[in-house]
Amino acid sequence: MGVKYGFQPSPETVLYARNLLPSGARWTAFGTSRHAYPMVAQSVLAGGHARIGLEDTVYLAKGELATSNASLVEKARRIIEDLGAQIASPRQAREILSLS
């Protein structure tokens, strides 16, 4: 979301897109650049999963470059936990995604 010809990065759009999916689908919404962290929050609040990486944004905050993917994930984790959601362990993530 937030890219040319993509969905607009808004709560209404996340809910619209989520409602197009079949019941029980596993999904995430993600945004690029300045929309990356708001979309982490919106995805989780709408019942989806979250993802973040340097392919989405290179900034931790306005003007502050991320030093690694890990620093982006740490910030996303804080956001998710501050919203009252839980982070999946690697084992739980593999189970959710049906990976061995």
Has residue 6 been placed in a domain?
Answer: no
Dump pLDDT digits (tens) for 1-50.
778 888 888 999 999 999 999 999 999 999 999 999 999 999 999 999 99
Has residue 54 been placed in a domain?
Answer: yes
Distances from the Cα of 98 to the Cαs of 19, 82, 87, in angstroms? 23, 27, 17
**Total number of domains constituting the chain:** 1
Has residue 66 been placed in a domain?
Answer: yes
Has residue 65 been placed in a domain?
Answer: yes
What CA–CA distance (Å, rounded) separates 12 from 65? Answer: 29
pLDDT of residue 10: 93
pLDDT of residue 5: 83
Determine the structural domain holding residue 64 and report its residue range: 11-96
Has residue 3 been placed in a domain?
Answer: no
Q: What is the mean pLDDT of residues 55-59?
A: 95
pLDDT of residue 26: 93
Dump pLDDT digits (tens) for 60-91.
999 999 999 999 999 999 999 999 999 999 99
Has residue 76 been placed in a domain?
Answer: yes
pLDDT of residue 72: 97
Question: Is residue 81 classed as helix, strand or coil in its secondary structure?
Answer: helix
Has residue 35 been placed in a domain?
Answer: yes
Burial class of residue 10, CB neighbours in 10 A (0-12, 13-18, 19+): middle
Neighbours of 86 (CB within 10 A): 9
pLDDT of residue 33: 92
